[in-house]
Amino acid sequence: MTRPTLDRPAQGMRPARLVTLLGPAFVAAIAYVDPGNVAANLTAGARFGYLLVWVLVVANVMAVLVQYLSAKLGVVTGRSLPEVLGERLSRRGRIAYWAQAEVVAMATDVAEVIGGAIALHLLFGVPLVLGGIITGVVSMLVLTVQQRRGQRVFETVVTSMLAVLTVGFCAGLFFSPPDLGAVLGGLVPRLDGPESVLLAASMLGATVMPHAIYLHSSLARDRVRHDARVQRRHALAAGAEGRDLVGGDDAREDDVAVPGPPSPPVVRRLLTATRWDVVAALVLAGSVNIAMLLLAAANLPGRTGTDSIEGAHAAIESSLGPAVAVLFGVGLLASGLASTSVGAYAGAEIMSGLLHVRVSLLARRLVTLVPAIVLLATGVSPTWLLVVSQVVLSFGIPFAMIPLVRITRDAGLLGGFRNGLGTQVAAWAVAAVIVVLNVALLWLTFTG
């Protein structure tokens, strides 16, 4: 019998059925357009024009592979990356691993709450501390939707915010389109001096966020379970046994609540949907990042101050007018609100998988909100806080990337759906590049 592989497309996936399986990657993609990316993209365009377009393209290709591997783990095994690690580590190891992941989750939350606070300040003049509190409260409402209405509704809310930030960040291009020839020229890999090297390294090194890796496997796992329940319910309603749908022998009513593991044909169909989901979501997120760079390259060349979000907003307003600046602020607000909700969700999944303790999303929201509000209250530069949060995130990259690549090659866990040789080589190459760049960025940050 032919061994099922990742690269063989599954047949028979109807377009309408495919659409119902999309969503998890769009939630994870929020990590790629969070407030921490805004200043870097605008600075790259303002200082070097179209030179570094290729960096964002390469970064997005790497992100597609990483997020697909995370989602595949959830689809094939029915477990998240934190759950698999929790099963393999000793008690002390689980606690230590959770501690570093929790610090990463808090750093993520700090960056995203600060981004929302800055957006409210830019749009309405709201003080930063009050803006941070408002951002936290709104994110709690979003998480309440997840708890009361389920994952699908939560995905819809977050994806809607993704659509809003896409419009907000890309609107300026319609008022002042970039030079198409220069854009194509920017796809040719090249650099221009030490500063461009550092900026390119920071853009590539901050490509993959640890919490997005942990969370995507959880989202994919829950989507499979939801899909199995829906399909079994339909089968029961039609009087069918539904063996092929969930791999079970009996179509009992309790199977609707606790479906069995998917059969290999179903896994192949789900992986097909997962590939479409990941590619579509990250092409959208990558396009938003590129759009920000193009906006700056076309309208802010040589402008100073774009290395802070406030400075970039002022530069956009003076160059393109208040309407575009308002749209940019709305996009930043949507980015902060969506990112902080997703970050809190990721933190809860990490704790559940590693410590086997499930804490209310709202309780986690309150706990992780406090450090961000305290830091805003100190009066420290928000841009500096964003930089520090990205440094902390860099520490967490190897702890997420390396286990993911190793586990998805494990035949004992994934069977015939484990990574093939080509996929594994590419995955290790991506992991090495991201880890090395993050180590380099940490060294440069601490040495000045």
DSSP string, 284-329: HHHHHHHHHHHHHHHH-TT-SSTTSHHHHHHHHHHHH-HHHHHHHH
Query: Which pLDDT value is given to residue 253?
Result: 39
Q: What is the pLDDT of residue 254?
A: 40
Contacts of 153 (CB under 8 A, 6+ apart): 145, 146
CA dihedral over 228, 229, 231, 232, signed as positive or negative: positive
What's the pLDDT at 261? 65
Predicted local confidence at residue 444, as pLDDT: 73
Residue whose token pair is 């309408």: 16
pTM score, two decimals?
0.88
CB 270 within 8 A of CB 224: yes
Q: What angle do CA 28, 34, 35 make, to 5 degrees?
A: 170
- What contacts 182, CB < 8 A, 6 or more positions away? 49, 50, 297
178's tokens = 């970039």
Q: What is the mean pLDDT of each run of 10 residues along the chain (448 residues)?
A: 40 63 90 84 90 94 96 95 95 93 85 91 95 92 85 89 95 91 95 82 78 94 76 66 47 46 84 94 95 92 80 90 95 93 90 88 82 89 79 85 96 95 96 85 72
Residue 17 CA from chain centroid, whole number: 24
Residue with tokens 């749009």: 123
Site of tokens 């030490």: 194
pLDDT of residue 382: 84
